[in-house]
Chains A and B, each alone.
Chain A
């Protein structure tokens, strides 16, 4: 499930795979920590997703460029160091240009460096393919991750505050469910969404099977 299928080398396919069928958070289970912790609001989810996506893209491109140079046991340390450098850059950009978001995301901005999504894509895709493929994979996965985080954030904000992106959606009589903003709520939301996505996906593939026969 986590390997790069040959058919997905085409940029269009990679994009679709990253967002839907191979969605890193909701299908592959990658990048859980930020998804559980910061997605209290939709804006946090979006911001975290985009920041991670940028670091992912830069890391993947770098790893792809360096792919002949390092092999064996030293690969993982290399991936970590590369992503740490780009995470540091992201930290500086966020601190300088988006201070409110930076404050909201807190300690999870430097933790982008050890996001298993970035590590996994570097290991599975970028270190084994050329620049175009690595870029397509990174963009697809990055978009998928951002979409997933934004979705989780939007749902948690809706249930926990009655708003989405700060705009009140539910009527004022709504009693917010505070659990949504808590760790327990985060685990529950991501777990349920993963289940729903998997059920929908298997329902679709079941339909395709029966259409073929």
Chain B
């Protein structure tokens, strides 16, 4: 199979078949951020950026620092440190290019750093023993998958804002039930990649 076809298949796998949010259930703490479409797109894009960079960064730290030192037990703190660093760097970069965007992202920065999806992708890459290129692509495509899920979620929640949801289900409970139906729909992608 040609390289391009493999990459495309990998992309389909990360974005649809094994969607990090709806299939592998990482990054669900971001459900709270998914109420408006614009905000969700912003959070999703930022998280995707952090995920891409930190996948590569964590891989480098894991392979080039921890493995030679036989310090696999330090993996979790090391990866968290890498993610925090990259989150801060990305935020600073965005602050230079578009200060207004930086302001808007302020609240969601914690989530990009503390997102299970970001750390989870980094950890899974190490477990899979992949190459740097594969790690980078994995971060990018999983980030896109996360973006897709959170944007779809926001589309649904904006619609829900006008619905007569019973009082005890309003907010997070009905968001979870919506996510359940979305996850059910996404099961249709099984086997596609």
**Residues of A with Cβ closer than 8 Å to B?**
29-33, 36-37, 76-77, 80-81, 84-85, 87-88, 91-92, 107-108, 110-111, 113-116, 119, 179, 182-188, 190-192, 194-196, 198-199, 202
Contact = CB atoms under 8 A, between A and B. Distances in A.
10 contacts: A31-B29, A37-B25, A80-B80, A84-B77, A92-B73, A114-B113, A114-B115, A115-B116, A184-B187, A185-B180
B121 to A, nearest CB: 10
Q: Is the interface of B mostly helix, strand, loop or mixed?
A: helix
B80 A113 contact: yes
Contacts of A80: 80, 84, 113-114
A183 B176 contact: no
Contacts of A84: 76-77, 79-81
Contacts of A192: 173, 177
A111 B120 contact: yes
A76 B24 CA distance: 26
Contact of B168 (A30, A76, A110, A195): A195
B7 interface: no
A194 B172 contact: yes
Contacts of B29: 30-33, 116
Given A32-B28, A107-B124, A191 B174 contact: yes
B26 A37 contact: yes
A137 B6 CA distance: 50
B110 interface: yes
Nearest to A85: B77
Contacts of A199: 167-168
B108 interface: no
Contacts of B110: 76, 119
B23 A183 contact: yes
A186 B22 CA distance: 11
B87 to A, nearest CB: 9
B174 A33 contact: no
Given A33-B27, A107-B127, A194-B176, A76 B113 contact: yes
Contact of B114 (A114, A186, A198): A114
